[in-house]
Amino acid sequence: MFLSILLGGCITKGSFEAGDNTFLLNGEPFVIKAAELHYPRIPKEYWEHRIQATKALGMNTICLYVFWNYHEPEEGLYDFSGQKDIAAFCRLAQKHGMYVIVRPGPYVCAEWEMGGLPWWLLKKHGIGLREQNPYFMERTRLFMNEVGKQLASLQINHGGNIIMVQVENEYGAFGTDKPYVAAIRDIVKDAGFTGIPLFQCDWNSNFENNALEDLVWTINFGTGANIDDQFRRLKELRPNAPLMCSEFWSGWFDHWGANHETRSAESLVAGLKEMLDQNISFSLYMTHGGTSFGHWGGANFPNFSPTCTSYDYDAPIGESGNITPKYHEVRNLLKNYLPEGQILPEVPDSIPTIHIPAFALTETALLFDNLSEAKQSENIQSMEFFDQGWGSILYRTALDVSDEEQTLIITEAHDWAQVFLDGEKIATLSRLKGEGTVKLPPLKEGAQLDILVEAMGRMNFGKGIYDWKGITEKVEIQNGKETKELKNWQIYSIPVDYAFVKNKQFKKEANTTNHPAYYKGTFMLDEVGDTFFDMTNWSKGMVWVNGCTIGRYWEIGPQQTLYMPGCWLKKGENEIIILDMASPSKPETQGLRKPILDMLRGHGAYAHRKLGEILNLREETPVFQSAFKSGNGWQHVEFGKEIEARFFCLEALTSHGGDDYAAIAELELLGEDGKKVSRQHWKVIYADSEELDDANHVATNIFDLQESTFWYTNYSSSHPTYPHHIVIDLGEDRKITGFSYLPRAEANKPGMIKDYKIFIKTTPFILK
């Protein structure tokens, strides 16, 4: 019987606690089988459908983040209504006999804009994020109190269904600061979350760094991980504690310009079974990913890598709530782990999909002809300085006459910039590729320079959360050896609000070639249903349908459609507006019954070896050589001396399995104090081989702060043999005393490096 039901007008209160090697629900042993769902990524009209689908899968709990920036888009302006009514979501879960685990942050990651932190924090001079900065802590406390007003009364000890609350999120991947984590714990308690367990989640490699004695400790890892290894250290420290994988990654998220991510159902089911057989609780992240509608998709760090609008995640429940083959395999497992006498409910029907025949968007409004009132600024400033959180921003100034070619240098354009001279586009610059210079032709006096910068989502991980948008430093003109910083700018904000978008001067005919423009059209429906708008004719931009912001698209893929929930459509006439930042091949779209999530048009910035390029180490002497131990887990190597370094090369010579492949999940360098050096400015200069066709085993995975992703040499189209090489530019001169190496997490897999050499230099290695 579900715990909190109305009996004779009285609400039954229950209990949940961490017992001896098990969680206890009302005093009885309980294994948490949680489904991670994110309410902002699901239309409110479909919340109940997704909850029912997780119940039918065999889950007993729903795990969810609380997204601070979603509920406080402007400082002091809180919104928990409608689509943002998180309490209503929890009550729906209770209606269907599901418990809830709440993860209120303040930071959540989730591949969400700025990891859930509000953009307006960046307006505060000297702001310190995720640390005991007075302003940050003040705003965190105020927000957490608002969350408490919504959810504290729904805890199990008050008759609700909330059984656990998380403190912060994966803080070990950000830093070591127990006093800060303790302060967040106290803020969570003060907000009313008492009487149920508070917990913190991290990876097995770093959970001790910030572990508080009065919190439950949980571990995050993905499919294929060696589960005994993941919990070994925790069991040594707390042999009687209940074990939980607080994020068991069912798949992975997609980046623009990279392959669609998938993970096998076989590996997922095997990991779940192994945990269930040991009474280990879990939360399946994600059970249903959904969609990062509007501007909410974030970006990865340290290399800026924006995530797609679709958060399908290769989860058991697909982006539109569709039931996948992976769902049925998980369900077939979980039905064997039900309490005695229980059976699984029927799987709810998927939402019907419809096809919308191709139609043209016949009205256009050139962006440059529909600008808002300009703001004046002597110096370049970021988007936040002009009180703008999302969208695009236009910087305009006049240039001096010049008879010679010059170079325009834009320092830190975040994130995708187009450069116009007297109204004609002359360049496109992408932060993904590190581009920042443009050759200028001879100039007439007063030539108009326009730099249009689109923000693509603030980084949501590590130190990258300090991610100001627009042009964040300066713009200069270089003429020979002379460099001059440009001043006196007119600034135009281009937000993503529908109220801003709809009030444009649309015309039936306009020449939009190579110019950003809004396109408007209508389509008629006799019936409504889910559909997927085909964006293959379009270049890059955002879509609004009936006033709802559907999300970003980009022709490079892998996502080529945008999910359109049928509940936001209507019978009769529907309106669509598309902002295309360049220009479409044809201003036409259609609604498809199935999404296109795996069509790439180029690899963006992901390859780290030019065609025919070879690393030459013949004249180089290794500073260290040895062999890694076999098995999983971190290995730490000390050189026994300090070495001046700017460029680091690892040469892998053999593997433990005798195979031809090399794989590295994470690589850390140790400084003169023995502590890890910052990886924020690292760049991979060379990797002899990367698997980019069958999976995203790109070389930069070795410092992406994600232990479940890894660099893996190519196996799908070629089989290069040892030795394998990877060369890193540290971005600054450092003194190095050693390094730490993490092999891929799966047990008994290829690519486990054995013998190796290390080369370190202050000057670049020779690449021919």
Domain boundaries along the sequence of the chain: 6-337, 356-365+504-592, 371-494, 615-767
CB 181 within 8 A of CB 172: no
CA 184 – CA 168 distance, rounded (Å): 7
- The letter for the amino acid at 251 is G
Residue 697: how many CA atoms within 13 Å on its side-chain side? 22
Tell me whether domains 6-337 and 371-494 share a fold: no
Predicted local distance difference test score (pLDDT) of residue 657: 93
CB 87 within 8 A of CB 438: no
The CATH H-level (homologous superfamily) assignment of domain 356-365+504-592 is Galactose-binding domain-like (2.60.120.260)
Indicate whether this model's pTM tops 0.75. Answer: yes
Superfamily for domain range 371-494: Galactose-binding domain-like (2.60.120.260)
Q: Which of 730, 8, 625 is nearest to 302 (CA)?
A: 730
* Domain spanning 6-337: CATH 1.50.10.10: no
pLDDT at site 603: 59
Dihedrals phi, psi of 279, to nearest 5 degrees: 60, 35
Predicted local distance difference test score (pLDDT) of residue 718: 81
SS3 labels along 567-625: HHCCCEEEEEEEEECCCCCCCEEEEECCCCCCCCCCCCCCCCCCCCCCEECCCCCCCEE
d(CA 287, CA 56) in angstroms, rounded, equals 12
- Catalytic residue IDs: 170, 247
Sequence-distant (6+) residues with CB within 8 A of 480 are none
| Span 460-487, pLDDT tens digits | 999 999 999 999 999 999 998 899 999 9
Please, is 484 exposed, middle or buried when counting C-beta atoms within 10 Å of its C-beta (0-12, 13-18, 19+)? exposed
Beta-carbon-side half-sphere exposure of residue 654 (alpha carbons within 13 Å): 11
pLDDT at 618: 92
Q: How far is CA 276 from the centre of its chain?
A: 29
Q: Phi-psi region for residue 266, left (φ > 0), alpha (ψ -120 to 50) or beta?
A: alpha
Q: Tokens standing for 542?
A: 């955002």
**pLDDT at position 610, please?**
85
Mean pLDDT per 10-residue segment, the chain (768 residues): 40 92 98 98 98 98 98 98 98 98 98 98 97 98 98 98 98 96 98 98 95 98 92 97 97 94 95 98 98 97 92 98 98 96 94 97 96 96 97 97 95 97 96 94 95 97 95 95 95 97 90 92 98 98 98 97 98 98 96 97 76 91 96 93 96 96 96 89 93 89 90 89 96 95 89 97 93
Return the sign of the alpha-carbon dihedral for residues 62, 68, 72, 76. Answer: positive
Which residues make Cβ contacts (< 8 Å) with residue 157, sequence separation at least 6? 13, 14, 15, 16, 195, 196
The full DSSP string for 295-313 is T-B-EETTTTEEBPSB--T
